Amino acid sequence: MTFKSRDAIRLSDGRELIYFNESDDSHRSSYPDTRELPPPPPASQLRYDPLVDEWVAVAAHRQTRTFLPPTDACPLCPSTPAFASEIPAPDYDVVVFENQFPSFSDRIKPDEITSLTDLVPVRPGVGRCEVVCFTSDHNSAFGSLSPARVRTVLDALADRTSAMSDIPGVAQVFPFENRGVEIGVTLHHPHGQIYAYPTVPPRTRQMMDAALRYRARTGGDLYTDVLAAERKAAVRIVAENEHWTAYVPAAARWPYEVQIAPHRKVADIPALSDAERDAFGPIYLDILRRFDALFGKPMPYISAWHQAVVGEGRDLGYLHLQLFSIRRAADKLKYLAGSESAMGAFVNDVVPEKAAETLRAL
């Protein structure tokens, strides 16, 4: 771990907040939350869709979450004498706290499953949602961080992945970042989130099913072999170092999509070695800066860590980061319209080999 200390406090409504400090002399935990907050909202509800064998979360309280506040009222900035934010301290390095408007919560216990109809069972949305602030600088971005700060963020994600994986009922831990109003962010401050899902999400289940079929057919590990094939072909490689390779998937769904994978198969972020963690920052920052250079302006993107599930099927997972943007040209976005939204059938506007070539050339 690179952070020097880890200080946990409770906010005025009982939610947990953790400072990951890069210096030994920090006293951030001595600052109390001076706000008077209502108790955390009721948990979400999971409803089963029998037509596609998926669970859908219904979280009506999220309708009231903070939406694009002015800079001087940003809840992710350090607190000031004029404004008490979610972070009581006057500064911080990296901080993680329970989301005030969570999609899932571990403050409830699983109840017996009820139902709306004979085919639609309903269960509580047990899990956990946390916010990760990468820097106290409101006007910064992840791509502007130092490699040392990226390492601190990665160590914080490892800490939280381990802790959230131990919550009863959690099926998978998913760290991610949404960047840009085009993506749908409601806060401009550089931050990400971590979801602890109570069920295995559809995308993960599809990847696990594919990996299981591949193993039964060949005896091999699917992602290991896909990565090896991409490294051998080289045509879609954007960047690489001793421990990581960044490449455009051959069947990329998004106009600009890059996966960054460690050369050694590991299940999740906590399983990364010190050398692998140190090597991640430089290659990830390189790719983020290439994304911003594509059209000469900040690129909207989603950055998603795919980790192994907590329980059965964990051996099928291969940690990797998926980075993609909905921007397909300087003045055009890829909207998920009829084919993508209604049928889940993607049509990509950019040839993956051309996307890789363009990113390499920047």
Whether residue 189 is annotated as binding a ligand: the answer is: yes
Counts of helices then strands in the chain (DSSP H, E): 6, 17
Q: Residue 14, by phi and psi: left (phi above 0), alpha (psi -120 to 50) or beta?
A: left
Q: Residue 191 catalytic?
A: yes
In the numeric block, which tokens belong to residue 207? 């990847």
Phi and psi for 277 in degrees, rounded to 5?
-65, -40
User: How would DSSP label each residue in 168-186?
Assistant: TT--EEEEEEEESTTTT-S
Residues 6+ apart with CB under 8 A from 205: none
Q: Give the strand order in the sheet containing 114-117.
A: 54-58, 45-49, 120-124, 114-117
- Catalytic residue, chosen from 191, 243, 306, 320, is 191
Place of tokens 């085919």: 119
Which residue from 290, 288, 279 is spatially nearest to 240, judged by alpha carbons?
279
- DSSP notation for 24-84: TT--GGGS------PPPPPP-EEEEETTTTEEEEE-GGGGGS--S--GGG-TTSBPBTTB-
Q: Is the dihedral of CA 125, 206, 218, 229 positive or negative?
A: negative
188 is in an annotated binding site: no
Distance CA 220, CA 225 (A): 7
Q: What is the dihedral of CA 215, 218, 220, 221, to 10 degrees?
A: -50
Q: Distance from CA of residue 224 to its chain's centroid?
A: 22
SS3 content of the chain, % helix, strand, coil (to 5): 30, 25, 45
Record the tokens describing residue 68, joined without a space: 């694009």
Active-site positions read 191
Point out the annotated binding site.
74, 77, 138, 189
Point out the annotated binding site for Zn(2+).
74, 77, 138, 189
